Chains A and B, each alone.
Chain A
């Protein structure tokens, strides 16, 4: 479907920017990420169906921002708003296991999409079903991925 970029931004830009701001906590980085999100979506506009793209934009924003954080961590830049801090900072008892002493080691072994899944489920409060829908996986796949994450986390903690 042909997309008018200006209209598309007018409708969805604020939502995407809010999402990027909430993860990156930096206005310049969020603005940059927001534009990246639109570029990614618009480059695949032929694949967009007529249904609302809000979910796709939201999850793409999440992925883009987590990638930015991951790259910044790789560069060993001091950051008080890293993905690890975000995830470790959640109140969910389940993921208290995953404290940021070993989250770094833990996520190094995981697929990038596992970060996104953890972010959506643990931090954003998506249900397993909603997380599955957002990332295009089955609920059992999500459960398995999170189970693996917890298991690896516990093993690391014991070490």
Chain B
């Protein structure tokens, strides 16, 4: 017997419990929809999506929305196993420069003096390299961000690229707590593949002893991104900031 084939909405409504399946073909379709549902909800968690939807509802400025697209596209979430493997790869680099003492005295590559530090590593052909200010990078370079709070309790990490797109790296979204982990260097649970934005990628690390509103920081970042991209943020007295820039190699 030939099964009746309906349009997709029909099957979606069966999967939602609004219609009843009529035949085996329906049931097969529903199973595939349910599997797809699970995959999508795992990939795009409801709490994160709800936060982004709410943010968009309160944000008529379409430019900011455009900027968020960039950050979604270039993030590559890592599994726990991948983070572990990456950590194993990065570990020697971490301590080559700092010894075995996690409360390092200074970051000779990134920021001078004591205090919170941001580290950016490039993983290329299995080799991990700690990048310094003004390093030349290129599209598709795989970067891993790490920070050492060095006593700071809260922080926000973001970057601005040559197109003026702002990418929030930490916390995961503007509604999350900006509480930093203490006790040494912390790898963010993402690697970061550089897209084809031209000229540069400028990273900022804002820290404080007090809770930071990441949405406020992102608003300020957006203003820099649209204006003079070499400026620093204007911050309250209790917040500190550091920045480093990576220059993009032109790819023909």
Binding site for B on A (CB under 8 A): 5-7, 9-15, 17-19, 22, 28, 31-32, 35-36, 38-39, 42-43, 52, 54-55, 58, 124-126, 130, 134
Contact of A31 among B6, B44, B46, B50 (CB under 8 A): B44
Contact of A54 among B6, B12, B56 (CB under 8 A): B12
Q: A17-B40, A55-B9 are in contact. List 16 more A-B contacts (CB 8 A).
A: A10-B46, A12-B16, A13-B44, A14-B40, A18-B8, A28-B73, A31-B72, A35-B53, A36-B56, A39-B53, A39-B56, A42-B53, A54-B16, A55-B13, A124-B9, A125-B7
Contact of B44 among A17, A19, A125 (CB under 8 A): A17
Which A residues are in CB contact (< 8 Å) with B6? 125
Do B53 and A38 have beta carbons less than 8 Å apart?
yes
Interface of A is mostly: helix
Do A5 and B50 have beta carbons less than 8 Å apart?
yes
B54 within 8 A of A: yes
12 A/B residue pairs, CB under 8 Å, sorted by A: A9-B53, A14-B36, A14-B37, A14-B41, A18-B36, A36-B56, A38-B53, A58-B9, A124-B7, A125-B6, A126-B7, A130-B7
Bound-state CA distance A39–B49 (Å) is: 11
Which B residues are in CB contact (< 8 Å) with A43? 57
**B residues 135-182 with Cβ under 8 Å of A?**
none
Contact of B69 among A7, A28, A38, A125 (CB under 8 A): A28
Which A residues are in CB contact (< 8 Å) with B8? 18-19, 22, 124
Closest chain-A Cβ to B194's Cβ sits at a distance in Å of 16
Which A residues are in CB contact (< 8 Å) with B15? 15
Which A residues are in CB contact (< 8 Å) with B52? 35
The 6 closest A-B pairs by CB, nearest first: A6-B50, A14-B40, A14-B37, A5-B50, A10-B46, A125-B7
Q: Which of chain A's residues has its CB closest to B11's CB? A: A15
